[in-house]
Amino acid sequence: MTTTPQHLQIINPSFRNDEHDTFHHFPRLPPELRLRIWELSVQKHRLLEAQITSKFHDTKNPPYSTLDELFSDRKYIILVRGIQLHSKLLRVSRESRKEALRFYRVHIPCYLHKARSVRGYKRSILYFNPEYDYMHVILNGSTSHDFIDLIHDLKSQDPRGVGFINVALGGSSDTHRIALSYLSMTSTFNSPARATFIDFLTSLKNILWMAQSPAGRIMQGRYIHPRCPTYAFNHSMPVKASSPSFSLLEKDSRPISSDLKHILTHSPDPREIRAVWRDILKNWGVRREMPVRERVLFAFDPFSYEGEDIYDFKSAEKFLEEEQEEWVENQRFAHEFEPANAITTESAKPLPTEGEAAVRPAIGFWLFPAEALGETENGNGQSPSGKRVFDMTGHWPEIALAHLF
């Protein structure tokens, strides 16, 4: 029997279904016990990717968030991406569905895009839980009013009135920073819209600053240091999945210290968008009793360039094997055709000789405290920009492990 090399042994817990594990006596359990099991089963965190786009431009009628309750007349569309987005408990039985709908108590019409490799969206419902779900809001092609409308809906459709309290912002495009800049212009909003946005700013509990990118695992030396000719492989950096559900651990327990020295991203400097956020709070005169918890999300995103979706162990293992082949080929090229770029450090040996000591891969993402990135202003009072490599050795990350089947 072939043993999987350590550098391919994924640390994520398995959520695979096995027909031999079926518990046939479940219906005989007392109703209160069954409901408790459904309740615990549905309680999962998710990171949702949602793009807001304008439905149409209506110059005669104002955005409905400037009115009281016009949910059916909304002027925006939500495009949600993800595989295995909806809980399976929604279709197991009437009893499980009832519990799942109680948990995902906010229901918003949306368009769902299951896989990045497949074109087209279909009409669906976004089942949302304000306390457990994080929404990565992509503001491309939308207006400030569209964002306000979404905030309005998430709260007005919540029976408990909690609304939008966990948001993820930023990513691979400067348009996020530009779109947020518009939100700092208070003169464009009338009273109801202003009240909606201020309530959001004061109620928000968590912000994730997105720094995922198609870089960070296989790194050329120039990213580490301009004069460094070597290549390096960061085994520790998690690989992001298309499935949104995850389990969050307080600490990455793997031996990752040597890889924290150079955390690479191709996303815009996340400190820039944090600086814009500070401007928004200042311009809107928001004073909070408790600060928002801010963390920065680092992960290798294999889908930015026509990659395949990772949503189960099979697709994850396939990606890691292909990544290994690419790394070995890069090293062969470096040794044969670019002698100056050949491996020169102990930590950057080719995979065949480092497998026994390599850190096991994780499918998910890292979360670092936002303060670990440094100040949002430089000595001249301007926001920093252009940084791609961060030294995070003084900050050990939380790790989110994707639920793989």
93: DSSP letter: -
**Res. 199: pLDDT tops 90:** yes
Do residues 128 and 107 lie in contact, with contact meaning Cβ atoms separated by under 8 Å?
yes
Beta bridge mates, 127: 107
CA distance 269 to 174: 9
Q: Is the pLDDT of residue 361 over 80?
A: yes
The DSSP bridge partners found for residue 357 are none
- Residue-by-residue DSSP string for 218-261: EEEHHHH-TT---EEE-SSS-B--SS-EEEEESS--S--GGGGG
In sequence order, the β-bridge partners of residue 209 are 169, 296
State residue 15 phi and psi, 5-degree precision: -115, 25
Q: Are 337 and 249 in contact (CB under 8 A)?
A: no
The DSSP 8-state label assigned to residue 2 in this structure reads P
- What are the structural domain ranges in the chain? 1-8+44-405
* Separation between Cα atoms, residue 126 and residue 80, nearest integer Å: 8
Give the model confidence (pLDDT) of 38-69 as tens digits.
999 999 999 999 988 877 544 444 444 433 44
Spell out the residues 6+ positions from residue 310 whose beta carbon is closer than 8 angstroms to its own.
239, 240, 241, 242, 243, 302, 316, 319, 363, 402
Q: Which residue has the higher pLDDT, 351 or 387?
A: 387
Its pTM stands at: 0.86
More confident residue, 160 or 183: 160
Q: What average pLDDT does the segment 176-201 reach?
A: 75
